[in-house]
């Protein structure tokens, strides 16, 4: 539904977006991750037709956004950054206005407004002026505007920004559910949202896509992905680390934490180690040394670590040195 | 968020099917309606109308010497309009685009399936209608002259038409300057300066001064940009299509430039 090819946006000499390409199909929720200033909002503004690209192409539902904007815009619902809304209107008036611009009149308009009011929990503030709304309600009002015509494509710029934890959870659930039948592109800098709502994620940094994959695939790029963590009692930290490192399947080991008699350690497998081999040898080691094994699990990898390593290469390396010591 | 599914349930499909593609005129009306409601949502609109009526009355009776003239006409009313509008029209027009840009709602509006010119025309028409309403509320003056004598109603009608056209021209200029800045104050000031030029360029005290040292063709050329000579005819009851055309071209030019300015902001 959304097809973006080699998108470039220059503000003066500065390239805010530099050669971004991706597609979002129906049934997909694409998370758009990146640090502040990475170019997420600028990309979304080009996708929704608010600003024209310096070069590159955006097509929504097969309609080129520059050549043929109206049919493309009809397919999109858009929640801009900071959820702008006309402050001189009531919530009902604002939603009615959005419905009319979407071509809904009379009974269809009334039904559409009722539907989004229910979906976004706006009954209580329906006749309240938008400028008296709390941030959470204003956000939901703007979100309601975006889904009023039940669009096939949703573009949401930081939809959970400024919401409290319950509201964040509600919005993520809503995004995931709507994503079953729509093509959704949403940006965030909160990593847990990728797991909570996305089928795929793109990491963008300084205007360029630096990673693209399912949350699972991204996690596997993490340094700790595949490492085995264990918790044992019966020996001091350095002893545990040394014995673990001497196993033929282990490349490197670290003590994560030591508290009283309990040691938390992590073993990094050799490149040629087969599935389950490290766990097995660790288990046997514990039996041999008569350690009390409290916990043993394979790390899936951590998104925040991948994110940091990719978007801040220098600090990422520095922190890795620390864990090795 | 709630148990109601907002995915493609049968009723949701019915909603999409019910959506028709609104005509350009439909979009313009929707936008104009919103804008007009926006004026009346705050007390500012009522304050504006009261100030307009008070000032119009003050100039007509106290400064213009309505009664001393001893004639049943509204000359002393219309003659002040170029000056009255100088501050009041930019006050009405300053928020048109500045406020959209400041609040970020321009991003909502221009990503809706509407064209920029539909939005520009819709917003302009709403504020013009608002000014027309304020002007219409001066009707007691017409009754006053009707009571006092036998005025030429054709001349009065012409005056109103000219005044409305002039207000539209000022307003289009304000619309253009409000697209220039996020700040309403800045757009107000720039607008007043431009409108002042439109007055002074053809105001006799200024043209008389210019004639001293500038060639006549230049004086005439500059004066051609002024609203003064074009409003003159309307006040005397002469409906000249060239005068009307002047005001309409100021409007078209300014609104077109508004579109160019908005486009250039978006291009970054
Ligand atoms: N209108 C603009 N004019 C100049 N620079 C801009 C403009 N909009 C965004 N930028 C710059 O482009 C970069 C990307 O911004 P943005 O897309 O808002 O990032 P993000 O949404 O990922 O935080 C930033 O460095 C920002 O300063
Ligand atoms: Mg942003």
ipTM of the complex: 0.86
- Which residue's alpha carbon is nearest to atom 5 within ligand 1? A11
Question: Who among B1, B12, B114 is closest to A101 (CB)?
Answer: B114
CA distances from residue B191 to A196, B96, B125, B170 in whole angstroms, order as listed? 51, 12, 18, 8
pLDDT above 80 (res B71): no
pLDDT of res. B11: 45
**Chain B neighbors of A108, CB-CB under 8 A:** 14-15, 18-19
- Which residue's alpha carbon is nearest to atom 24 within ligand 1? A37
Helix H or strand E encompassing A256: strand A250-259
Q: Is there a contact between B6 and A82 if contact means CB atoms under 8 Å apart?
A: no
Flag whether residue A164 sits within 8 Å of chain B, measured between CB atoms. no
pLDDT above 50 (res B14): no
Q: With CA atoms as reference, report the closest residue to A52 among A74, A69, A36, A77.
A: A69
Identify the bridge partners of residue B112 per DSSP, sorted by sequence position. none
Residue-by-residue DSSP string for A257-302 = EEETTEEEEEEEEPTTPPTTHHHHHHHHHHHHHT-EEEEEEE----
Q: Is there a contact between B34 and A97 if contact means CB atoms under 8 Å apart?
A: yes
Sign of CA dihedral A237, A238, A242, A243: negative
Cα separation, A133 vs B149, whole angstroms: 56
In short, whether A40's Cβ falls inside 6 Å of ligand 1 is: yes
Q: With CA atoms as reference, report the closest residue to A224 among A325, A311, A309.
A: A309
Residue-by-residue DSSP string for B244-265 = HHHHHHHHHHHHHHHHHHHHHH
Cα separation, B7 vs B5, whole angstroms: 5
User: What are the pLDDT digits (tens) for A167-193?
Assistant: 888 889 999 999 999 999 999 878 888
Cα separation, A114 vs A136, whole angstroms: 19
- Could you tell me the distance, in angstroms and rounded to a whole number, from the CA of residue A245 to the centre of ligand 1? 47
**Chain B neighbors of A81, CB-CB under 8 A:** 104
Higher pLDDT, B62 or A63: A63
- Could you tell me the distance, in angstroms and rounded to a whole number, from the CA of residue A38 to the centre of ligand 2? 8
- Which residue's alpha carbon is nearest to atom 4 within ligand 1? A11
Cα separation, A302 vs A293, whole angstroms: 24
**Chain A neighbors of B8, CB-CB under 8 A:** 150, 181
Confidence bin at A45 (pLDDT 50/70/90): very high
Q: With CA atoms as reference, report the closest residue to A203 among A211, A195, A193.
A: A211
Taking each helix axis from N to C terminus, what angle separates A237-245 and A277-289, rounded to the nearest 10 degrees? 130
Residues A54-65 have a mean pLDDT of 95
Range with the poorest average pLDDT among A138-142, A236-240, B77-81: A236-240
Q: Is there a contact between B1 and A120 if contact means CB atoms under 8 Å apart?
A: yes
Question: Who among A52, A103, A112 is closest to B22 (CB)?
Answer: A103
In short, whether A11's Cβ falls inside 6 Å of ligand 1 is: yes
pLDDT of res. B268: 66
Are the beta carbons of B34 and A92 closer than 8 angstroms? no
pLDDT above 50 (res A325): no
User: What are the pLDDT digits (tens) for A75-117?
Assistant: 999 999 999 999 999 999 999 999 999 999 999 999 999 999 9
Q: With CA atoms as reference, report the closest residue to B102 among B182, B187, B188.
A: B182
- Which residue's alpha carbon is nearest to atom 26 within ligand 1? A37
- Could you tell me the distance, in angstroms and rounded to a whole number, from the CA of residue A40 to the centre of ligand 2? 5
User: What are the pLDDT digits (tens) for B228-250?
Assistant: 888 988 988 888 888 999 999 99
- Class of residue A293 by CB neighbours under 10 A (exposed 0-12, middle 13-18, buried 19+): middle
Cα separation, B60 vs B54, whole angstroms: 10
CB atoms within 5 A of ion ligand 2 belong to: A 40-41, 81
Residues 6+ positions from A251 with CB-CB distance below 8 Å: A268, A269, A270, A271
In short, whether A13's Cβ falls inside 6 Å of ligand 1 is: no
Three-state DSSP state, A188: strand
Cα separation, B145 vs B75, whole angstroms: 11
Range with the poorest average pLDDT among A29-38, A147-156, A263-272, B127-136: A263-272
Q: With CA atoms as reference, report the closest residue to A156 among A76, A96, A53, A60.
A: A76
Comparing alpha-carbon positions, the chain B residue that sits nearest to A73 is B113
pLDDT of res. A314: 53
- Could you tell me the distance, in angstroms and rounded to a whole number, from the CA of residue B176 to the centre of ligand 1? 26
Flag whether residue A170 sits within 8 Å of chain B, measured between CB atoms. yes
Cα separation, A222 vs A307, whole angstroms: 9
Min Cα–Cα distance to chain B from A273, Å: 45
What residue segments make up the domains of chain A, in order of their start?
2-219, 228-323
Are the beta carbons of A244 and A272 closer than 8 angstroms? no
Residue range A228-323 in CATH 3.40.50: no
Are the beta carbons of A205 and A311 closer than 8 angstroms? yes
Identify the bridge partners of residue A228 per DSSP, sorted by sequence position. A267, A298
Residues A138-163 have a mean pLDDT of 93
Q: Is there a contact between A97 and B8 if contact means CB atoms under 8 Å apart?
A: no
Cα separation, A162 vs A140, whole angstroms: 11
Tokens of B236: 């005397």
**From the alpha carbon of A9, which atom of ligand 1 is closest?**
12
Sign of CA dihedral B246, B248, B251, B252: negative
Cα separation, B128 vs B122, whole angstroms: 10
Min Cα–Cα distance to chain B from A11, Å: 6
For chain B, the straight-line distance linking the first and the last C-alpha, in angstroms and rounded, comes to 37
Tokens of B194: 């431009």
Residue range A2-219 in CATH 1.20.140.150: no
Interface of A with B in 61-90 (CB under 8 A): 70-71, 73-74, 76, 78, 80-82, 84-89
Confidence bin at A319 (pLDDT 50/70/90): very low
pLDDT above 70 (res A244): yes
Residues B193-220 as b/e (b if ≥16 CB within 10 A, e otherwise) read: ebbeebbbbbbeebbeebeeeeeeeebe
Helix H or strand E encompassing B38: helix B24-40
Q: Do A2-219 and A228-323 show the same overall fold?
A: no
Residues 6+ positions from B244 with CB-CB distance below 8 Å: B161, B165
pLDDT of res. B205: 82
Helix H or strand E encompassing B160: helix B153-178
- Class of residue B15 by CB neighbours under 10 A (exposed 0-12, middle 13-18, buried 19+): buried
When scoring B32, B35, B113, B122 by the number of chain A Cβ atoms within 10 A, the one with the most, hence best to mutate, is B113
Higher pLDDT, B10 or B176: B176
Higher pLDDT, B65 or A28: A28
- Could you tell me the distance, in angstroms and rounded to a whole number, from the CA of residue A93 to the centre of ligand 1? 32
pLDDT above 60 (res A162): yes
Q: Report chain B's mean pLDDT, rounded to a whole number.
A: 87
Helix H or strand E encompassing A19: strand A14-24
pLDDT of res. B10: 45
Cα separation, A303 vs B254, whole angstroms: 53
Q: With CA atoms as reference, report the closest residue to B243 among B186, B163, B188.
A: B163
pLDDT of res. B21: 79
Three-state DSSP state, A202: strand
């Amino acid at each position: 539904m959304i097809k973006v090819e080699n998108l470039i946006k220059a503000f003066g000499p500065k390239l805010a977006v530099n050669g971004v390409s991706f597609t979002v199909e129906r049934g997909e929720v694409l998370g758009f991750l990146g640090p502040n200033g990475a170019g997420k909002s600028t990309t979304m503004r080009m996708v929704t037709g608010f600003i024209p690209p310096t070069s590159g192409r955006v097509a929504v539902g097969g309609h080129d956004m520059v050549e043929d904007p109206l049919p493309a815009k009809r397919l999109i619902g858009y929640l801009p950054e900071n959820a702008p809304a006309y402050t001189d209107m009531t919530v009902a008036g604002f939603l009615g206005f959005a419905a009319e611009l979407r071509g809904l009149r009379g009974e269809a308009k009334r039904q559409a407004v009722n539907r989004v009011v229910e979906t976004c929990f706006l009954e209580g503030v329906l006749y309240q002026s938008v400028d008296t709304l709390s941030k959470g309600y204003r956000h939901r009002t703007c979100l309601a505007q975006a889904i009023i015509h039940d669009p096939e494509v949703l573009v949401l710029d930081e939809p959970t920004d400024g919401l409290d934890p319950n509201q964040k959870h509600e919005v993520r659930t809503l995004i995931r559910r709507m994503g079953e039948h729509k093509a959704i592109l949403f940006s965030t800098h909160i990593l847990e949202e990728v797991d909570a709502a996305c089928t795929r994620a793109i990491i963008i940094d300084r205007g360029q896509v630096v990673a693209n994959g399912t949350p699972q695939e991204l996690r596997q790029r993490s340094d700790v992905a595949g490492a085995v963590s264990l918790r044992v009692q019966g020996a001091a930290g350095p002893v545990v680390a040394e014995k673990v490192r001497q196993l033929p399947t282990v490349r490197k080991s670290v003590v994560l934490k030591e508290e009283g008699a309990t040691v938390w350690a992590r073993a990094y497998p050799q490149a040629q180690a087969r599935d389950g081999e490290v766990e097995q040898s660790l288990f046997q080691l514990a039996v041999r040394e008569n350690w009390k094994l409290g916990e043993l699990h394979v790390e899936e990898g951590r998104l925040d670590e991948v994110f940091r390593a990719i978007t801040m290469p220098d600090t990422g390396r520095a922190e890795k040195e620390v864990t090795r010591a | 968020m709630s148990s109601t599914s907002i995915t493609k349930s049968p009723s949701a499909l019915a909603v999409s099917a019910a959506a028709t593609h609104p005509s350009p005129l439909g979009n313009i009306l929707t936008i104009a309606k919103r804008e007009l409601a926006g004026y009346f949502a705050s007390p500012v609109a009522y304050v504006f109308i009261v100030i307009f009526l008070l000032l119009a009355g003050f100039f007509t009776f106290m400064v213009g010497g309505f009664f001393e003239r001893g004639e049943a006409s509204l000359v002393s009313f219309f003659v002040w309009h170029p000056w009255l509008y100088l501050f009041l029209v930019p006050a009405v027009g300053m928020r048109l685009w500045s406020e959209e840009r400041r609040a970020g709602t321009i991003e909502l509006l221009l990503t809706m399936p509407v064209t920029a010119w539909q939005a520009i025309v819709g917003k302009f028409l709403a504020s013009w209608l608002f000014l027309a309403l304020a002007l219409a509320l001066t009707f007691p003056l017409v009754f006053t002259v009707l009571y006092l004598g036998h005025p030429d109603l054709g001349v009065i009608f012409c005056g109103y038409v000219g005044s409305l056209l002039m207000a539209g021209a000022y307003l289009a200029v304000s619309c253009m300057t409000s697209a220039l800045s996020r700040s309403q104050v800045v757009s107000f000031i720039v607008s007043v300066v431009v409108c002042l030029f439109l007055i002074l360029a053809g105001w006799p005290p200024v043209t008389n001064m210019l004639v001293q040292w500038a060639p006549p063709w230049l004086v005439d050329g500059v004066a051609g940009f002024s609203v003064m000579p074009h409003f003159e005819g309307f006040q005397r009851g002469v409906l000249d299509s060239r005068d009307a055309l002047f005001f309409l071209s100021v409007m078209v030019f300014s609104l077109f430039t508004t579109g160019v300015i908005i486009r250039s902001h978006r291009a970054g």
